[in-house]
Structure 1
Amino acid sequence: MPTISMFFGIIIYMYYFDNREHAKPHIHANYAEYEAIISIPEGNVLSGEIPGNKLKLITAWIEIHQEELMADWKLAVEGQQPFKIEPLR
């Protein structure tokens, strides 16, 4: 599970070959005891939960980095190392 970004206590990562359970492109986000799977590019929570204020930050970050995230998704589902993406500042 490569970590691709971290900001404001949120860790964003993608699993290798992770297109079986959720066919949609998505990221995994951890914050404290919360974990959620969030779709790219919509920013919808597919499963899990995360506080609303942190979800807003993640959604903004997804919107800014959609192209990079889709490129990373392609790499990850092929079993390749995704690239790091700039955190939200």
Structure 2
Amino acid sequence: MSTKYRFRDKYRIQLREKDHPPPHVHLTGGGVDVMLSLDTVEVMMGKAPPLIIKEALAWVAAHQVQLLEDWKRCYP
């Protein structure tokens, strides 16, 4: 598991090396586990406070290219 970003002292965006398609990352911490799509940059599954989702999706959008490259290295 690789933490790509930490914010608000308890939330993390993680790329899990032993995961499954489609390409996604996990928003974890503070009692949440949300899957965020790397293709569409939207919530795939799970719930979290709207402001946390908004911040996480903004970060994923800004780093989408690198995250997809990282995903492809894990799942060629």
| TM-score normalised per structure 1 | 0.73
% identity of equivalent residues: 28
CA distance in 1, matches of 2:75, 2:19: 6
**Pairing partner for 2:42 from 41, 44, 51:** 44
Deviations along 1:41-75, one digit per CA (max 9) or x if unpaired, are 42222222111100000111011111111111112
- Alignment length, in residue pairs? 75
What 5-or-longer segments of structure 2 have no aligned partner? none
Runs of 4+ displaced beyond 3 Å:
none
Q: Counterpart of 1:67 in structure 2: which amino acid?
A: V
Higher strand share: 2
| TM-score normalised per structure 2 | 0.83
Note the aligned Cα RMSD (angstroms).
Answer: 1.5
